[in-house]
Amino acid sequence: MKNLKKIELQHDIIAESFLRMNGIEAETRSEFLTIFEDQIVQITGFNYIHNEWERVIVYMHSRCATYDEMCRMKDCFFEKDEIAIQIHPPKSEYVNICEFALHLWRNKRLSEKSEKRLREKVLKAYKEAKEIYFANAKRDFLVPGEEKVVAVCGENRWPTWEEVCAVKQRYWEPEEAAVQFNLSIEEDINAEYMILLWDAADMLLPPKEFV
């Protein structure tokens, strides 16, 4: 994760002052405000020293952030060679404190070599999914392979978070988890408006997910 003090967004001064009064420094958590087209967005970045997970929360008041907006936030807060995830947790782990809040997670224990292999795997799956899409033009489908991967495609726009959740519910049992990988905006944005959902059965996930 990038140094939170150096990210060029407008800081929420009131929130920052409260956090520092309670001994939480900008290197570990920082509050930001920015504008996405139609509304002000509150963004919170976490990089706890004694926690293996880095986290970014993107909160809007009347809608969830779009896929491309989350891609922009990934590039804003994480290095290009780092991979973040968005989690679709088991139903029993839904929290939903803030209805329109979305989260980006990254495990700090991932080695550079592991992230490189993961990036290659994700890009390969995208390539295979695009070939299937061009042949069948389906809006969602399983991508053949050893791992369970489902492609979700929009029609001249990105699928919304709610639409991706609906696809997840069709392909996974209620107590199964799935994730979306965010690589970089250059690698994640594609002409097919395609998002990949990956089965998370064997993945390391945070102890509690917030969606």
pLDDT in tens, 13-55: 655 665 566 555 555 666 676 666 666 677 777 776 667 889 8
Cβ–Cβ under 8 Å, residues 32 and 14: no
Cβ–Cβ under 8 Å, residues 15 and 27: no
Cβ–Cβ under 8 Å, residues 43 and 34: yes
Q: Give the span between the Cα atoms of 177 and 157, in whole angstroms.
A: 25
Domain 4-107 has CATH 3.40.1720: yes
Q: Is the pLDDT of residue 135 over 60?
A: yes
Quick one: pLDDT at residue 211? Answer: 47
Handedness of CA 92, 162, 67, 167 (dihedral sign): positive
DSSP helix, strand, coil percent of the chain (3-state; round to 5)? 30, 25, 40
Could you read off the pLDDT of 77-134 as tens digits, one per residue? 899 999 999 999 887 776 666 778 899 999 988 899 999 999 999 999 999 999 999 9
Quick one: pLDDT at residue 44? Answer: 78
The DSSP result for 12-80, as a single string, is -HHHHHHHHHTT--TTTEEEEEEEETTEEEEEEEEE-TT-SEEEEEEE-SSSPPPHHHHHHHHHHHS-T
Closest CA to 78 of 199, 181, 201: 181
pTM for the full predicted model: 0.85
Q: Give the span between the Cα atoms of 153 and 157, in whole angstroms.
A: 9
Q: Write out the two tokens for 66.
A: 């779009």
CATH 3.40.1720 location in the chain: 4-107
Q: Give the span between the Cα atoms of 131 and 127, in whole angstroms.
A: 7
Could you read off the pLDDT of 160-175 as tens digits, one per residue? 999 999 999 999 999 9
